[in-house]
Amino acid sequence: MDAWKAACQSDEGNASFVIPKGEFMVGQVEFGGPCHDQVSPKVEIRGKLKSLINDGDAKYWIKFYGLNRLSVSGGGELDGQGAQAWDDNKCEDTKSCKLSATSLRLHQVNNAEVYDLKLTNSKAFHMNLHKCDSIDIHDLEINAPGTSKNTDGIHLSITHNITIRNSVIGTGDDCISVGQGSRGVTIYNITCGPGHGISVGSLGKYADEMDVVDLVVKNCTIKGTTNGLRIKTWQGSLASQARNFTFEDVKMINVANPIIIDQKYCPGEDDYCSSKPSKVKINDVKFSRISGTSRTRLAVNILCSKDVPCSNIELDNIHLSCSSDDMDCKTTTASCTHAQGKVFGVQIPPPCL
């Protein structure tokens, strides 16, 4: 912490905060600002940092907050040592949301870059951005077993103007999850799998959630996941919007649900799930040049709310055939409920809009 304070308050404008090569056990730590002249030191993590196996009720492991013009890189590794925590992650199947620690959290960080790092086996989310603006995330490797619970690769909330690119992500949950209040997010050149795919949401679980607007996902490969491109909103949610999304040039390899909009999302027990429709309005969503293989017959599943039906959904050149892993699948199918839109070009499976 002495080194961080010295680098943060340096008036020379070119300070670096360096963790050298080697292996280090690190407890919960916060690196905060503001720094001198609103310029953060360059953070270089060259070694391997290992989290405490038991960190109590910590919500995060390494946190950067209140910073401007931050750079975090160095080629090192953040090992969350999360295996013992995964069974305790309960955030979707109970009314009280309890998650273990996020490995790397950025809170109120602006004009920053995070790159050239490896994040492994986080206790919960590997990386979380909250109330951030203008962040470039690239050349990351994020790994956890497909069986690890709630270990999203990168999760965004109330965060604007974010780019996530040129990275390989495989976890037990969403490779990337775009949460409430996210605006201006661009995701490209991502290899995703295992995990639950690239998701918007879940949305609408809590009151007063903010809209999700202006998302682009392109030039990605999704393989061996339970979902491909997904938008999910909770049953019984209050009103908000999810709009102006473009998913294009995405390759699916043996994905169970390649294209899915699920507005009856509720993975918990029946008595926890609301019988009321979602009030999250989904509109202006385009799926273009989505190709590859589906592990199930239902390759396109657009299940929208009867109270606020999906509008202006576009399917443009969709080519999703059965993968060899599903021997019962001869031809793929599509299902649309409470959805309006248009189709263009090749459509495999035959369109339902």
Residue 223 lies in a domain: yes
CB-count exposure of residue 123 (10 Å: 0-12, 13-18, 19+): buried
Task: Retrieve residue 37's tokens.
Answer: 């002249």
Position 269 confidence tier, pLDDT thresholds 50, 70, 90 = low
- Of all residues in the chain, the percent with pLDDT exceeding 70 is 96
How far is it, in rounded angstroms, from Cα 343 to Cα 81?
46
Q: What is the pLDDT of residues 46-82, one digit of tens each?
A: 999 999 999 888 999 999 999 999 999 999 999 999 9
Q: Is residue 318 part of a domain?
A: yes
Structural domain includes residue 74: yes
pLDDT at position 92 is: 54
- Which distant-in-sequence residues (6+ apart) come within 8 Å of 283 by Cβ? 241, 242, 243, 310, 311, 312, 313
Average pLDDT over residues 111-130: 98
Q: Give a yes or no: residue 297 inside a domain.
A: yes
Determine phi and psi for 272, rounding to 5 degrees.
-90, -25
Distance (Å, rounded) from C-alpha 30 to C-alpha 323?
Answer: 46
Mean pLDDT for the stretch of residues 289-315: 97
Report whether pLDDT(27) > 70: yes
Query: Could you tell me which of 237, 231, 102 has the C-alpha nearest to residue 179?
Result: 231
Provide the pLDDT for residue 329: 78
% the chain with pLDDT above 90: 88
pLDDT the model gives residue 280: 97
What is the H or E stretch that residue 8 is in?
Answer: helix 2-8
Tell me the torsion sign for CA atoms 257, 263, 267, 271. Answer: negative
CATH number at residue 307: 2.160.20.10
Amino acid 319 reads: H
pTM for the model stands at 0.96
- Average pLDDT (271-279) is 83
Residue 353 inside a domain? The answer is no
Residue 351 predicted with pLDDT over 60 = yes
Confidence (pLDDT) at 94:
46
- pLDDT of res. 271: 65
* Catalytic status, residue 196: yes
pLDDT band, residue 96 (cuts 50/70/90): low
Q: Please return the burial class of 1, using the count of CB atoms within 10 Å of its CB with bins 0-12, 13-18 and 19+.
A: exposed
Q: For 235-307, where are the E strands, in sequence order?
A: 240-255, 259-265, 280-294, 298-303
- What's residue 98's pLDDT? 73
Q: Would residue 30 count as lying in a domain?
A: yes
Mean pLDDT (whole number) for 181-200: 98
The whole domain housing 113 covers 2-348
Candidate list 107, 196, 319, 338, residue with the active-site label: 196
Structural domain includes residue 134: yes
Number of domains observed in the structure of the chain = 1
